[in-house]
């Protein structure tokens, strides 16, 4: 059988179908509850899926990833609160539309363009994953792989950190965590303190559930306050008119392209793409003054761009082994436990997986779109679920999910400790993403650095370290230095911005203006 | 628009009143403490990795079990020290992406951690023999744990206190204990 037939055959399994349905339900729920991110949900589900076959597990995790991308638009539109960071830009026009009595229309448009964005990005994945992996396999030896890890880590640091120094410290902390355990090359024990539990290092699933799940929960416990905004329950009409469909065309094309490009950048996710896509669409619109005030073009642009990142993100994750976003970092951890290591060798040795993953994403997108179009009334009720249920459920499922990975209370303790560390990091402005990436990729970096250094004395430098490795290292240095230089040269207000923010001053200014408009109208318009 | 003072009192922050109630304020003290803790952590890490016992020497050009951690330790100490100096001499970064701590928030957090530690300590006992039966503790302590959490989080309805813990525990037991055969 060829790869295509193998890939399709692995999907024809009842457990894969059940996984899809489970992922669909979980993804929608986590998306709809503000504060529960897709990363948290995938991290949590990773504990449940360890005993499954890889394709069955991927069906659950990838469907959560896709469905959360639909569910998170609901609170953005109805309560002006993003369900996950990827739907931040949705609030700019979604909530004003809802206040104008067009919530149903906003939800429908959002669901349709999200589906189009994901499907377009899947074409990128299906077409480019194997060629990128093949190029990487042929040209990426130890020095290039080391440089690639450093590149992925520095991009994550520069995108996720307001302070580069804090981001680098978080990355070093993650890499340092990755050194705990037995050093494979010599069998020496490092920082195990005589504990057998530490021989294999920190349990990755426990760390990510702690940093992304428990820490997020703890932060909500610390900061929760009663919201003054009531969900908008009057949905109005659902379907766009022909004229509205016509207006959606240009923003769909422009922002879709933005999303596809941003998705291919390691660590850049739907939140950044949504904001850039929204701004680009505003610039080419015939009605830019409507943006931020309930523009159908605005919601089309933000949701197409943020959704179109999924395929690109998947491509860099699976083909290069460098996570496209934080959800993908968690996904890599789960895949490694299943015995699959994302990276250049994966798709060249298992091309059927490209077909399986594309198939899962395709079915998940279609199911999510269908559910999005029929569930709207019910979703409004979900937004009223009291926090005490959500918090209690998250905590108990984090505990049980983590325990299930090893059947050990030590693992649960690790999760709890990293939850505390995570909330402290969050409150003090240290990003969690670089920690996870450092822990995940640290052993790979050390192994490839070791190989490179052992080859270096035997051959000329430029014969060992190729221009690809030098370029990646130069880009890594640039990604860290650029924000520092811009901040040093810029006005005082420039400090404390991420790379994306510092590069996108104009976009940020536009978006701030739109947010202020929304806030002003929210404070002056009485709730229905 | 109103003017509010930051925690340290060293910087005037102009902000919208509604936002000031929600958004965390910049704090120099917090920045200094965070950088100092990072410096201590990285210094301790560096000291510990320098004491790693090597079972055998590595060949020329190869790195041993200490090399990579030592590089990380040195880098971490340098960056953390740089960050500490930065925290002293530069104004604290804004924290407008974070919400301010709310009244009762710390109580909720500490109660949750204490309850979780107690729950895990009890669960580790696994089972007890009573009245001639081997009783699995999980199914008894989990509803009480959930009940306590709900109480801490502000629930007061008896239906919530009874139905949610019982249904959730039953769901977990069936899914994990019976279907996935996880020894609870």
CB contact under 8 Å between A450 and B93, yes or no, is no
**CA-based angle A35:A39:A40, to the nearest 5?**
55
**Which candidate, A400, A317, A391, places its Cα nearest to that of A353?**
A317
The arithmetic mean of pLDDT across residues B149-173, rounded, is 93
User: pLDDT tens digits for A81-124?
Assistant: 777 778 888 988 988 898 888 888 999 999 999 999 999 999 98
Instruction: Tokens for B97, please give them.
Output: 């992406």
pLDDT per residue as tens digits for the range B42-73: 999 999 999 998 887 776 667 889 999 999 99
- How far apart, in Å, are the Cα atoms of B143 and each of B123, B148, B172? 12, 9, 11
> DSSP code of A456?
G
Q: What pLDDT, in 10s, does the model give residues A164-174?
A: 899 999 999 99
**Which one of B18, B65, B79 has the shortest CB-CB distance to A165?**
B79
Could you give the count of Cα atoms lying within 13 Å of A243 in the half-sphere of its Cβ?
0
Q: What share of chain A is helix, strand, coil (3-state, %, to 5)?
A: 75, 0, 25
Q: Which residue from B93, B97, B121, B106 is spatially nearest to B31, judged by alpha carbons?
A: B93
**Partner-chain contact B52 A165, CB within 8 Å:** no
Phi, psi of A184 (to 5 degrees): -60, -35
Closest CA to A136 of A322, A260, A308: A322
Q: Assess whether pLDDT exceeds 60 at residue B10.
A: no
Interface test with A, best of B59, B180, B182 (most A CBs within 10 A): B182
Q: Which residues, at least 6 apart from A214, have a Cβ–Cβ distance to it below 8 Å?
A: A395, A398, A415, A416, A418, A419, A420, A422, A423
Q: Which residues lie closer than 8 Å to B85 by C-beta, 6 or more apart?
A: none
- Chain A interface includes B141 (CB < 8 A): no
Helix (H, G, I), strand (E, B) or coil at B78: helix
Give the Cα separation of A65 and A312 in Å (integer).
Answer: 14
Higher-scoring residue by pLDDT: A198, B93: A198
Complex ipTM above 0.90? Answer: no
Contact flag A169-B38 (C-beta cutoff 8 Å)? yes
How close, in Å, is residue A164 to chain B by CA atoms? 10
pLDDT at position A360: 93
Cβ B54–A430 below 8 Å, yes or no? Answer: no
pLDDT score recorded for residue A425: 94
The pTM is what?
A: 0.81
Give the tens place of pLDDT for each residue, B104-136.
Answer: 899 999 999 999 999 999 999 988 888 888 888
| 3-state SS string for A160-187 | HCCCHHHHHHHHHHHHHHCCCEECCCCC
Q: State the distance between the two ends of chain B, measured CA to CA, in whole angstroms.
A: 56
State the Cα–Cα distance between residues A145 and A451, nearest whole angstrom.
Answer: 11
What pLDDT, on the 0 to 100 scale, is given for residue A513?
A: 63
pLDDT at A1: 57
Contact across the interface for B117 and A416, Cβ inside 8 Å = yes
Locus of tokens 């793409």: A273
Are the beta carbons of A404 and B149 separated by less than 8 Å? no
Give dist(CA A522, CA A380) in Å, integer.
19
Mean pLDDT estimate for chain B = 85
Is the model's pLDDT at B78 over the cut of 90? yes
Q: Which of A51, A176, A224 sits opposite B45 (nearest CB)?
A: A176
Strands A181-182 and A189-190 come out as antiparallel
User: How many interchain CB pairs under 8 A, A with B?
Assistant: 182
In this prediction, residue A375 carries a pLDDT of 63
All residues of chain A having their beta carbon less than 8 Å from the beta carbon of residue B64 are 183, 186, 188
With contacts defined as CB-CB under 8 Å, which chain A residues touch B113? 416, 420
pLDDT at B149: 96
Q: Is B69 on the interface with A (CB under 8 A)?
A: yes
Which residues 3-32 of B are in CB contact (within 8 Å) with A? 18, 22, 24, 30-31
Q: Which residue is closest to B66 within chain A, CA to CA?
A: A190
Alpha-carbon distance A82 to B80, whole Å?
34
Q: Which segments of chain A have a pLDDT < 50?
A: 523-528
State the helix-helix crossing angle for A433-455 and B67-89, rounded to 10 degrees: 130
Closest-CA distance of chain A to residue B88, Å: 14
| The predicted structure's pLDDT at residue B11 | 34
Cα–Cα nearest to B45, from A103, A173, A46: A173
In this structure, chain A runs to a length of 528
Distance from CA of A83 to the nearest CA of B (A): 15
- Ordered by start, the domain boundaries in chain B are 1-100, 102-184
Select from B63, B98, B142 the Cβ nearest to the Cβ of A449: B63
Q: Residue A185 and residue B100: Cβ atoms within 8 Å?
A: no
* B14, β-bridge pairs: B3
Inter-chain residue contact A223 with B112, CB threshold 8 Å: no
The chain-wide mean pLDDT, for chain A, equals 84
Query: A-contacting residues of B 31-50, CB under 8 Å?
Result: 31, 34, 38, 41-42, 45, 48-49
């Amino acid at each position: 059988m060829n790869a295509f037939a193998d890939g399709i055959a692995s999907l024809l399994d009842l457990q894969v179908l059940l996984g899809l349905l489970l992922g669909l339900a979980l993804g929608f729920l986590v998306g709809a509850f503000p504060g529960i991110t897709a990363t948290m949900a995938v991290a949590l589900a990773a504990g449940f899926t360890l005993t499954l076959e890889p394709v069955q597990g991927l069906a659950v995790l990838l469907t959560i990833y896709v469905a959360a991308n639909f569910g998170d638009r609901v609170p953005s539109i109805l309560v002006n609160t993003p369900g996950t960071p990827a739907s931040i830009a949705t609030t700019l026009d979604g909530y004003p539309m809802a206040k104008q009595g067009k919530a149903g229309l906003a939800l429908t448009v959002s669901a349709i363009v999200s589906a189009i964005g994901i499907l377009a990005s899947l074409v990128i994945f299906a077409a480019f994953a194997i060629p990128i992996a093949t190029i990487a396999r042929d040209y990426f030896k130890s020095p290039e792989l080391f440089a690639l890890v450093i590149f992925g880590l520095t991009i994550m640091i520069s995108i996720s950190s307001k302070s580069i120094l804090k981001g680098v410290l978080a990355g070093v902390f993650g890499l340092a965590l990755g050194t705990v355990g037995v050093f494979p090359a010599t069998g020496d024990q490092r920082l195990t303190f005589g504990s057998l539990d530490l021989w294999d290092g920190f349990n990755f699933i426990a760390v990510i559930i702690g940093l992304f799940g428990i820490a997020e929960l703890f932060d909500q416990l610390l900061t929760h306050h009663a919201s003054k905004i009531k969900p908008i329950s009057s949905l109005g009409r659902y379907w766009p008119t022909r004229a509205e469909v016509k207006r959606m065309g240009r923003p769909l094309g422009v922002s879709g392209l933005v999303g596809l490009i941003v998705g291919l950048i390691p660590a850049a996710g739907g939140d950044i793409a949504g904001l850039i896509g929204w701004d680009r669409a505003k610039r080419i619109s015939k009605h830019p003054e409507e943006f931020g005030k309930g523009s159908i073009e605005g919601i089309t642009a933000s949701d197409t761009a943020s959704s179109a990142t999924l395929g690109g993100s998947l491509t860099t994750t699976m083909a290069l082994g460098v996570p496209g976003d934080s959800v993908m970092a968690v996904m890599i951890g789960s895949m490694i436990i299943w015995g699959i290591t994302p990276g250049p060798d994966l798709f060249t040795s298992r091309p059927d997986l490209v077909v399986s993953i594309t198939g899962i994403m395709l079915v998940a997108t279609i199911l999510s779109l269908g559910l999005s179009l029929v569930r709207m009334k019910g979703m409004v009720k979900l937004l009223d679920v009291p926090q005490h249920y959500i918090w209690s459920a998250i905590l108990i499922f984090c505990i049980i999910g983590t325990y299930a990975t090893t059947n050990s209370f030590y693992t649960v303790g690790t999760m709890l400790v990293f939850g505390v560390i995570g909330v402290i990091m969050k409150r003090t402005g240290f990003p969690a993403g670089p920690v996870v990436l450092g822990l995940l990729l640290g052993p790979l970096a050390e192994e490839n650095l070791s190989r490179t250094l052992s080859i270096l004395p035997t051959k000329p430098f430029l014969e060992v370290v190729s221009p690809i490795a030098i370029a990646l290292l130069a880009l890594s240095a640039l990604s860290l230095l650029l924000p520092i230089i811009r901040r040093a040269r810029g006005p005082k207000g420039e400090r404390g911005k991420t790379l994306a923010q510092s590069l996108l001053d104009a976009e940020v200014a536009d978006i701030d203006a739109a947010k202020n408009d929304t806030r002003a109208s929210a404070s002056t318009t009485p709730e229905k | 628009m109103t003017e509010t003072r930051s925690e340290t009192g060293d910087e005037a922050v102009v902000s919208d009143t509604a936002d000031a109630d929600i958004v965390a304020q910049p704090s120099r003290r917090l920045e200094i403490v965070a950088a100092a803790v990072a410096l201590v952590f990285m210094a301790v890490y560096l000291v510990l990795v320098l004491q790693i016992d090597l079972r055998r020497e590595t060949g020329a050009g190869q790195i041993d079990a200490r090399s990579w951690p030592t590089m990380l330790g040195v880098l971490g100490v340098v960056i953390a020290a740089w960050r500490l100096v930065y925290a002293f001499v530069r104004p604290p970064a804004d924290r407008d992406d974070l919400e301010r701590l709310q009244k009762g928030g710390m109580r909720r957090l500490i109660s949750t951690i204490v309850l979780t530690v107690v729950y895990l300590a009890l669960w580790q006992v696994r089972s007890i023999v009573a009245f001639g039966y081997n009783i699995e503790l999980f199914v008894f302590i989990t509803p009480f744990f959930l009940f306590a959490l709900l109480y801490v989080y502000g629930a007061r309805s008896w239906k919530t206190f009874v139905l949610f813990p019982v249904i959730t525990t039953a769901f977990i037991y069936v899914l994990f204990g019976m279907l996935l055969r996880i020894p609870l």
